[in-house]
Amino acid sequence: MPQSLSDVLIHVVYSTKNRVPYLKSPELREHLNAFIVGTLKDIGCPSLITRSVEDHIHTLCQLSRTMSIAEIVKQMKVTSSGWVKEQDPNLADFYWQAGYGAFSVSHSNRDQVKHYIAHQEEHHRTRTYQEEFRLLLERHGIEYDERYVWD
């Protein structure tokens, strides 16, 4: 087969450093979401949906055939971190956490994950980011050591 074809979907989640609620402004979040969608498009990993809340972000995107998940997340974090700092002098200390979660999504679950991401603000009325992240790890069967998950 001379062509390389793929359709791999990845749900990426990461928080602000120490889960500081830097992203309080709905307008900032809306622009941040659009900025990350543009970044992903530019690197050949189109976003199906990207949503942020005060202290973290979720993205469902198509995995490029030529980039690793780590490189995609690095591009998302580096470009958006600089962009956020440019938006407001009060955000000069903004950083994303060092780690991230990346979860495979089957085509048959795509719409369910999109719906979940679209309703982040509702989820976080009753559940913290840490509770949500632990639940995602458990649902995907990922073993983790609590001491090394947060920064």
| Structure confidence by residue, pLDDT tens digits, 47-88 | 999 999 999 999 999 999 889 999 999 999 999 999 999 999
Encoded tokens for 123 = 């989820």
Q: Cα–Cα distance between 86 and 91 in angstroms, integer?
A: 8
Q: Which class for 134: exposed (0-12), middle (13-18), buried (19 or more C-beta within 10 A)?
A: middle
Q: Cα–Cα distance between 121 and 25 in angstroms, integer?
A: 13
Mean pLDDT value of segment 129-150: 91
Average pLDDT for the chain:
94
Q: Is the pLDDT of residue 26 over 90?
A: yes
Q: Is residue 2 part of a domain?
A: no
Q: Which residue has the higher pLDDT, 151 or 25?
A: 25
Neighbouring residues of 13: CB distance < 8 A, sequence distance ≥ 6: 56, 57, 58, 59, 100, 101, 102, 103, 133, 136
Q: Is residue 1 part of a domain?
A: no
Domain count, the chain: 1
Q: How confident is the model at residue 29 (pLDDT cuts 50, 70, 90)?
A: very high
Indicate the SS3 state at residue 63: coil
Its domain, for residue 37, covers: 9-148
Q: Is residue 77 part of a domain?
A: yes
pLDDT attached to residue 1: 52
**Residue 117 is part of a domain; what is its CATH number?**
3.30.70.1290
Whether 85 and 26 have beta carbons less than 8 Å apart is answered as: no
Q: How confident is the model at residue 11 (pLDDT cuts 50, 70, 90)?
A: very high
Q: Is the pLDDT of residue 131 over 70?
A: yes
Indicate the SS3 state at residue 11: strand
Give this prediction's pTM: 0.92
Q: Which residue has the higher pLDDT, 61 or 147?
A: 61
Mean pLDDT value of segment 144-148: 87
